[in-house]
Amino acid sequence: MKAVCWMGKENIQVLDVPDPKILNPRDAVVRITSTAICGSDLHLYDGFVPTLEQGDILGHEFMGEVVEVGPDVNKEKLKVGDRVIVPFTIACGGCTPCNEQLWSLCDNSNPNAWIAEKMMGYSPSGLFGYTHMLGGYAGGQAQYARVPYADVGPLKVPSELPDEKVLFLSDIFPTGYMGAENCNIRPGDTVAIWGCGPVGQFAIRSAFMLGAGRVIAIDRVAERLAMAQASGAETLNFDDVDVVDALHTMTGNRGPDSCMDAVGMEASGHGVMFAVDRAKQMARIQMDRPIVLRRAIMACKKGGTISIPGVYAGFIDKVPMGAFMNKGLTMKTGQTHMMRYMGPLLERVQRGEIDPSFVISHRLPIGAAPEGYKIFRDKQDHCTKVVLDPWATAA
C-alpha cells in the first residue's frame, strides 16, 4: 500500500509499504477513505518530538471502511463493512482511566510506556502515527491501517454524511471542544484563544456552543483571522499589538475569564525572549517554546482558567508561576479524551449545527503529501487544513 513516511526532519516521502495485518485478537484493519494532516504532525515534521524512526508511517486523523476484524472484536460494536471514524487516541476500554472516561490516559495501549515514563513519570495512551514513545503504531496517512482495541474507539457514521463532514471527529473537532470545555465557560464569558489553526477554529465555535459571550482570537495569518471572524470572534494580530495589553483594554482591565493556548510547543513571537526560546529549543535545552502559555497566564483574569489543547512535549523555562499562583488560576489540559466527545459532536453535525468541512483549504492525492506538509507548515497558498485522498493518483 501507499503510506506517508517520516524519513527525517522536514523529509516526508510517500512509499510503498506492506499492508497491515491483524496482530492481536481485538484488532481491525480499516481501508482508509480520507485522512488529514494535523498541526501535531508538524511537530514531527519539524523534528521536535523524539523517538521517531526513519520509515515510520505518520497520520492520526483518518476514517474508512472496516475490511477485517480479529476474532475477539465485539461484533455488536464493529463488523466488516462498517464505515468508521478512528480516534487518534488508542484505548483498551477496560482500565481505570478508560472506566473514568479519561480515554487518552489509557493504561494499556502504549506498549512502550516505559520510554514516556522516563520523561513524564507516567505515559498517556498510545497514539496513531506519533512516535515510538507513544506506542510506535503505524499511522493513518496511508491506504490501510491496523486499529487496536477496535471495538472501543472507532465510531460508526451513517453513509449519508460525506467524509469531509465527519473526518474531523477523529481529532480536531473534539480537541477544540474539549479545549473550550476546559475553559469552564459560564454564560456570557469572554474567552481568549491563541492560535487560529484548525484546533483554534473548532475551539472558537465550541466556545460559543458552550455559552461564551465573546471570543477573542489571536494569530498573525490573515486568512485564519478572517475565518475566526466569520465564526463570530473578535481578532487580534500579534504582529500588530501587544496582546496582553490589548486583552486588558478590551475587558475593562479585568482580563478574559479564560485563556486557551491552541498553539503549543512551536509558538512564534518577537524580540529577545523569542530568540532565546528558539535557540534553547534547537539546542534541546528546553523542548518547547512556551510563548503563548506565558502570555495566557499574564492576560487571564484573577481566578480564571487556562486551557491548553496545544501540545507540549518536555520542559519549559520562565513560566510566570508567581502570577499563576497569586492570581489563583486553574490549568486544564491533556490529549483529548476522544470517545467522550465523538458521539455527541456527530449528533451536532447531523442536526446541522456545524459543518466541520469549513476549515478545509486543500484536498490533495496522497502522493502530494510532502507538498501538503510544507504548505500547511509555512501557511502558504492560504492553507488552513489539508485532506489527503489515499486512493487518488497524483495530478
| Residue 322: Cβ within 10 Å count | 9
Q: Is 221 in the site for ligand NAD (CB under 6 A)?
A: yes
Q: How far is the CB of 86 from Zn ion (least distance, A)?
A: 12
Output the furthest CA–CA distance in the chain (Å, rounded).
62
Q: How many residues touch ligand NAD (CB under 6 A)?
A: 34
> How far, in Å, CA of 120 to CA of 21, rounded?
32
Minimum Å gap between C-beta 318 and Zn ion is: 28
- Nearest CA to 170 out of 41, 293, 13 is that of 41
143 near ligand NAD, rule: CB under 6 A = no
Which window, 115-123, 150-158, 217-225, 339-347, contacts ligand NAD (CB under 6 A)?
Answer: 217-225
Give the residue with the Cβ less far from ligand NAD, 150 or 236. 236
Which of the listed partners (ligand NAD, Zn ion, none) does 199 bind, with a CB threshold of 5 to 8 Å by partner kind? ligand NAD
Q: Report the C-alpha dihedral over residues 66, 70, 71, 73, rounded to 10 degrees.
A: -60
Site for ligand NAD in 149-208 (CB under 6 A): 171-172, 175, 194-200
Q: Which of residues 24-63 bind ligand NAD (CB under 6 A)?
A: 38-40, 42-43
Question: Among Zn ion, ligand NAD, none, what does residue 92 contact (CB within 5–8 Å per kind)?
Answer: none
Binding site for Zn ion (CB under 5 A): 38, 40, 171
Cell triple for 155 = 465510531
Closer residue to Zn ion (CB): 38 or 84: 38
Q: How far apart are CA 124 and CA 64, in angstroms?
A: 25
Contact (CB, 8 A) for 155 and 15: no
Task: Report which of 224, 163, 192, 264 is spatially closest to residue 385, judged by C-alpha positions.
Answer: 224
Rule CB under 6 A: choose which of 262, 354, 369, 388 binds ligand NAD: 262
Smallest CA-to-CA distance from 129 within 238, 10, 224, 38 is with 38
**C-alpha–C-alpha distance, residues 328 and 322, integer Å:** 10
Among residues 227 and 366, whose Cβ is nearest to ligand NAD?
227
Judged by the rule CB under 6 A, the positions of this chain that interact with ligand NAD are 38-40, 42-43, 171-172, 175, 194-200, 218-221, 224, 238, 262-264, 267-269, 291-292, 309-311, 335-336
